[in-house]
Structure 1
Amino acid sequence: MKAISYSRYGGPEVLEYGELPDPKVGPDSVLVRVRAASVNPVDWKAQAGYLDGMIQAVFPVVPGWDVSGVVVRPGVSVVEFAEGDEVMGYVREDFLARGTFAEYVAAPVRTLARKPRSLGFEEAAALPLVGLTAYQVLHHALAVRPGETVLVLAAAGGVGSMAVQIARHLGCRVLGAARETGLARVAELGAEPVRFEERGFAEQVRALAPQGVDAVLDTIGGPYLKIAAGLRAPDGRIASVADGEVLGLGGRYFWVRPDPNDLAALADLADEGVLTVRVAERFPLARAADAQRANAEGGLNGKVVVTVP
């Protein structure tokens, strides 16, 4: 099969496009013919070796965790899917090896759900990681409730835009912090925009929520995480998917995990019109390095997708 792979840690320059053996399909896995995969910051961070202390790399590594495609063959123990089913998945395992930037991926069944009928393959590939992250943080780490005020940092980004839509669906009031270029997107999603700026950020939030916010979802870390921690109501909660310093602020540091039930719930929300997915740029598989560069540069207000012909 054609695939993107790397045999040593590094930046986009270590990516190679060429032939690799077709993946073997274990009893609890599904062979998926990939139609699209999306790029997330964790892809190029793992590729650079930043996760080496946590996740074993088995070279050559095919990058990518998000996928949408068509089932070619289910494993012998799989009853959830059949040949021809359209699926999407967050195909993360406990090692780096068989990713989604390829013509085929052998995906554990626990990482998959049926593709939303209302989304094309490109949009469906852009949903799993960011959607699951937002869904799980709001439901599990923060346990938000109807009527609460939620502050989302980087609300125009991948995880942030999902969090705004899901929190609104749960009946929350949402304050969405973004840079100037993302404020219109934040308002479009139904949040009250708050501009990131060195001075005045805290004052903007306090003007909108004088009693403090009930929950903070941080996706960027750094100084704004610390400022946001001080904007909570007395019993307010905070969780970060980007910065472990949140633990010292009395919050939770959260990593998304594959969950077929949560993924299916996201598919239902998409089909109900609750969730919209924006694809900003598309690259063919052979140009995956350019896709990584576009994602790393940021500022797109949408996902970067790799398409597989």
Structure 2
Amino acid sequence: MTGAPALPSTMQAMAMDGFTGPQAIRARDLPVPVPGPGEALIRIAAVGVNPADWKACAGFLPFLPDSFLPLVPGFDGTGTVVALGEGVSALQVGERVAFLSSLPLGRGGTWGDYAICLAAQAVPLPDNLSFAEAATIPVPGISAREALLVQGKLAPGERVLVNGGSGGTGLWAIQIARELGAQIAATAGPANQDLLASLGVHCPIDYRHENVAHKVAQWAPEGVDLLLDTVGQGSIADPAALIRPGGRHVAIETMLPHEALPDAERFAAKGIAATRASASYESAPAHLAALVAATAQGRMTPPPLETLSSSEAAAAMARVREGHVRGKIILVTDDHLTAKTAATMKDPA
């Protein structure tokens, strides 16, 4: 292992001893992980709170067995490289990065002072992108880009409906579609209609007070080319009715047991190709690098974010589980919780 000055042997982390939900999260002293071949050790600055985190804590993710306990949640984050494992040459100690953690590989997540990642899963951050802003990108941005461009094969000029447009994944999806030159409809609650308009959504839909099917039919009489569902759980009663014959339906994988799924026969009758999308380690680095570059260059904007201390991890996870979070909740380690980030510690909704 190569690295900077000697690192502490222990760290503070938010961890859990069993898959019983957010209430099991508590502060613990754990050993600082040591990077192995091909890995990097990151000093955490900020991490995203994602739906996958509460699902992990609830035991819904089969790739997280009991042997991983005590479990430090957290699938993504930003921070500074402090040590490198054997064979890593693409990163340097002291470099600022955004990354996906190695939690699914049994190496722990990002809700601690330090985290391990595969070096290939880390993308350097330009100086004009803050840790908190960059922490809004990895899991939701990668998922959105994979769903739209790879699984959904969205093309310039096509019409896409983003269900769940004010959440982290939906907001990145809107901007990815906009940059591609697609025509965009998106659903959100009444408090977020202004947010959709600010991002250039052509057909914003207030799903609480408007008939979604009627609004889509007015905008796209033959149906949309692609429906991206970031919510799932039966939030759209009849998605096939909104999609043109031969169109596509892509749903972000929720991993929820007993989830109500769309009617496969309805899709087949209209020739609609249906896919469930999730990011992979193979495709993630290219997606993340593209999104970091677009954001640093001002072509895309980080979604509204709320920063909380990492000690508030359990409460943050519970809020994400309840849904209706505008933009993204970010956990910031205490030494990075400066006056600048503290100014955002309020509910923007």
Which TM-score band (shorter chain)? over 0.9
Summarize the alignment of residues 39-78 of structure 1 with structure 2, pairs less than 5 Å apart. Answer: 39-51=49-61, 53-57=62-66, 58-78=68-88
Structure 1 CA distance for aligned equivalents of residues 85 and 227 of structure 2:
41
Who is 1:81 aligned against? 91
User: 1:235 Cα deviation (Å)?
Assistant: 1.9
Candidates 111, 114, 120, aligned match of 1:110? 120
Residues 158-197 of structure 1 mapped to structure 2, 5 A cutoff: 158-191=168-201, 192-197=203-208
3-state secondary structure, aligned to 1:17: strand
- Please report how far the alpha carbon of residue 96 of structure 1 lies from its aligned counterpart in structure 2 after TM superposition: 4.9
Compare the two structures and name the one with the higher strand fraction.
1
| Structure 1 residue 300: Cα displacement | 3.2
The 10-residue stretch of structure 1 (225-234 or 265-274) with the greater mean CA deviation from structure 2: 225-234
**Structure 1 SS opposite 2:239:** helix
SS of the aligned residue for 1:9 comes to coil
Deviates more, 1:280-289 or 1:76-85: 280-289
What is the CA–CA distance in structure 2 between the aligned matches of 1:72 and 1:184, rounded to whole Å?
Answer: 41
Q: Is the 8 A contact 1:41 1:296 kept in 2?
A: yes
Query: How far apart, in 1, do the equivalents of 2:126 and 2:216 lie?
Result: 36
Q: Secondary structure at the match of 2:34?
A: coil
Q: Partners of 1:221 and 1:230 in 2: how far apart?
A: 16
TM-score for both structures, normalised by structure 2: 0.83
How is 1:97-246 mapped onto 2 (pairs within 5 angstroms)?
Answer: 97-191=107-201, 192-197=203-208, 200-242=211-253, 245-246=261-262
| Paired residue secondary structure (1:99) | coil
Distance 1:13 1:94 in 2: 21
Structure 1 regions of 5+ residues with no counterpart? none
What secondary structure, in the 3-state scheme, does the structure 2 residue paired with 1:71 have?
strand
Using a 3 Å threshold, how does the CA distance of structure 1 residues 35 and 100 change in structure 2: closer, same or farther?
Answer: same
| 3-state secondary structure, aligned to 1:251 | strand
Using the TM superposition, give the Cα deviation of residue 247 of structure 1 relative to its aligned residue in structure 2, in angstroms. 8.1
1:285 and 2:310 aligned: yes
**Matched residue type, 1:274:** R
Contact kept, 8 Å, 1:131 with 1:266, in 2: the verdict is: yes
Partner of 2:342: none
Shift of 1:34: 0.4
- 1:303 is displaced (CA, Å) by 0.8
Give the distance between the partners of 2:131 and 2:171, measured in 1 at CA: 19
Contact kept, 8 Å, 2:189 with 2:206, in 1: the verdict is: yes
Question: Deviation at 1:298?
Answer: 3.3
Amino acid at match of 2:226: A
TM-score, normalised on structure 1?
A: 0.94
Deviation at 1:296, TM superposition (A): 2.6
| Contact 2:239–2:262 (Cα < 8 Å) also in 1 | no
Relative to 1, partners in 2 of residues 1:65 and 1:247: Cα closer, same or farther, differing over 3 Å? farther
Shift of 1:246: 4.8
SS at match of 2:238: helix
Inter-CA distance 19–223: structure 2 relative to 1 (3 Å threshold): closer
Contact 2:54 2:318 in 1 (8 A): no
The structure with the largest alpha-carbon Rg is 2
**Alpha carbons of 1:223 and 1:295: their partners in 2 closer, same or farther (altered >3 Å)?**
closer
1:265 aligns with 2:275: no
- Residue 280 of structure 1 deviates from its aligned partner by 3.2
Kindly provide the CA deviation profile for residues 58-104 of structure 1, in whole angstroms up to 9, marking residues without a partner as x.
Answer: 11110001100000012121111001110001225434551000111
Change (3 A) 1:222 1:60: closer
Matched-pair contact (CA < 8 Å) for 1:218–1:242: no
The alignment's C-alpha RMSD in Å is: 1.8
Whole-Å Cα distance in 2 between the matches of residues 64 and 54 of structure 1?
14
